[in-house]
A and B are shown apart, each in its own frame.
Chain A
Amino acid sequence: MKITSTAVAGTLESSDVYVKVEPCDALEISIESVVYNQFAEEIEASVKNVLNEMGVESGKISINDKGAIDCVIQARVETAIKRAGGNK
């Protein structure tokens, strides 16, 4: 899937994550998290898993995490990508 427009998913509530995806020639992932010290690797792995599964090779992915668990991160990333997936 290709990211053709800017889209967001999620909220900035505690235990949720706010995901923003934008078109970009390269793949850029930025992660900000209240539990970065404790769970940086897990968060990055969750994001990359979804990108791989959905065949996303490029795009700017911005994660602002407020302590979401992995399944929530994956769902939010998937939703943001689908919203940005050029269905218009």
Chain B
Amino acid sequence: MSKLVESIKKAVELVELKDGMTISFHHHMRNGDFVLNMVMEAIAELGIKDLTVNASSVFDVHEPIIGHIKNGVVTGIECNYMGAKVGKAICEGIMEKPVVFRTHGGRPSDMEKGTSVIDVAFIAAPTADDMGNCTGKVGKSACGSMGYAFADAMNAKKVVVITDNLVQYPLNDFSISEVYVDYVVAVDQIGDPKGIVSGTTKITRDPVGLKMASYAAKVIDASGLLKDGFSFQTGAGGATLATAKYVQDMMLERGIKGSYGMGGITKYMVEMLNNGCFQALLDVQCFDLDAVESIRSNPRHMEVSATHYAGVSGKSAGVDNLDVVLLGATQVDVDFNVNVHTDSNGYIMGGSGGHSDTAAGSKLAIIIAPLSRARLPLVVDRCLCTTTPGSTIDVVVTQRGIAVNTKYGKNKELKEKLIAAKLPVCEIEDLKAMAEELCGVPKAVKLTDKVVANILYRDGTLLDTIKAVK
């Protein structure tokens, strides 16, 4: 027996994809992904219409989907993140049905709860055998962890694995098991390795970024959480990486043995693992080649599913035991609500990813962002949309001051600790005033009443909407 079929088109026919169905994709190929576009092209050629695309993330490389929306092949999009190119088209109102945004934890959990039904999952696999056992750890298009694809494989009615490195059965050390897979397709190339993982993720050299990073590290230190058993998540942004570097320095200097680092993993987290700062890494996605190499060779660098990482449908998740998470923001409002979905003109250029999952789970959720960017103040009266509720955010760190969120009857003690550590603690309103003194007060953006996206919180409830731009 073999599940190998000769083309994507053939697989689409065999799974009996029909008008109105929902198909899914994972985003470990990131901006180097070829699979979503290849599959959509095959589907369009077969004349199938009215599909909903549930992709864990939509990147700029997926721009051809705009054409599929215009010609009726795609009538719905569900994702956790959307890049600026498709985001702009959505905000200009090209699709009738609003986009559904979830979080990295909410997406798999909604599938497991049955509120998000996937008819066919197409899984880009850097290495697979002809029965569908597959992994991201090896192959010319290696992406490391395939954490976001587990829920798709386990919950979709039909599963098609698409690989550019077909190996003899049985594949050793698979991530996704053949038991879930219906068909396997071998293609020349599932992605462009340059877009899949960046060669290097670099620590910022910008003095403003370094100042913010140094403050954030001091906040972590003063919080009292930096001790044996410490668990930590950071993104791949320049300033957050710099913070991780400062945290590592403190841990090594004091001989602190942490428990785990989590999230999208970069070489800095790998360095912390190898230097003994953590007992393990829980990796849902690799951001660079060092992380891919590490997950392949180091058993303490563990691949976890998105549910294990951040879900609410399991009995517990990694985020539930997280001490500290460092997060970014395009806007923060005076109630500490955070927007990472839209830019300051109201156009979609992001999404939660694990933002609201980790903020909710962690003991200390730190937003790190400059006081203003290109004349636009970080802190506003009301965010254009809410990605992460203010009640789950603890501290906002900028280069000019640090605001502690005491609005929800919490963090009073933390605020005292930061003041005692001689950090520049101020109120969130002060950050807004400082920025406006420098930049002026921006005119409000004009939005229409047309809802172009619904933002679902990690538990599946409607958190906010995004309106079309005028």
Q: Please give the residue numbers on chain A whose beta carbons come within 8 Å of chain B beta carbons, in ascending order.
A: 14-15, 34-35, 37-39, 42, 66-70
The 3 A-B pairs with the shortest beta carbon distances in the complex, nearest first, are: A67-B374, A38-B442, A67-B375
B interface, CB within 8 angstroms of A: 344-345, 373-376, 438-440, 442-443, 445-446
A67 and B438 contact, CB distance less than 8 A: no
In the complex, chain A residues whose CB is within 8 Å of the CB of B376: 35, 38, 67
Some 22 contacts from A to B, beta carbons below 8 A apart, are A14-B374, A15-B375, A35-B374, A35-B375, A35-B376, A35-B442, A37-B445, A37-B446, A38-B376, A38-B442, A38-B445, A39-B375, A39-B442, A66-B374, A67-B373, A67-B374, A67-B375, A67-B376, A68-B375, A69-B375, A69-B438, A70-B440
For A66, the chain B residues whose CB sits under 8 A away are 374
Q: Complex Cα distance A9/B374, Å?
A: 18
Most chain A Cβ neighbours within 10 Å, of B345, B374, B442: B374
The answer for the CA separation of A42 and B439 in the assembled complex, in Å, is 10
Q: How far is the CA of A34 from the CA of B373 in the complex (A)?
A: 11
Most A Cβ at <10 Å: residue of B375, B376, B439, B442: B375
Contact of B440 among A15, A34, A37, A42 (CB under 8 A): A42
Question: Residue on B with the closest CB to A41?
Answer: B443
- Docked pose: A14 CA to B446 CA in angstroms: 23
In angstroms, Cα B442 to Cα A38, docked, is 5
**Residues from chain A with Cβ under 8 Å of B442 in the complex:** 35, 38-39
Q: Which residue of B lies closest to A33 (CB)?
A: B375
Residues of B within 8 A of A35 (CB): 344, 374-376, 442
Are A37 and B374 interface neighbours, CB within 8 A? no
Determine the chain B residues whose CB is within 8 A of the CB of A42 once the complex forms: 440
Q: When the two chains form their complex, are residues B344 and A38 in contact, meaning their CB atoms are under 8 A apart?
A: yes
In the assembly, what is the distance between CA of A35 and CA of B343, in Å?
A: 11
Instruction: Known contacts A37-B345, A38-B344, A39-B440; decide if A15 and B374 are in contact (CB<8 Å).
Output: yes
Chain B residues closer than 8 Å to A14, beta-carbon distance: 373-374
Smallest Cβ-Cβ distance to A68: which chain B residue: B375
What 16 additional pairs, Cβ within 8 angstroms, besides A35-B374, A37-B445?
A: A15-B373, A15-B374, A15-B375, A35-B344, A35-B375, A35-B376, A35-B442, A37-B446, A38-B344, A39-B440, A66-B374, A67-B373, A67-B374, A67-B375, A69-B375, A69-B438
Given A14-B374, A34-B374, A35-B375, does the pair A69, B439 have CB atoms closer than 8 Å?
yes
Query: From B375, which residue of chain A is reached at the shortest CB distance?
Result: A67
Residue of B whose beta carbon sits closest to that of A16:
B374
Which residue of chain B has the shortest Cβ distance to A65 in the bound complex?
B375
- In the assembly, what is the distance between CA of A67 and CA of B376, in Å? 8
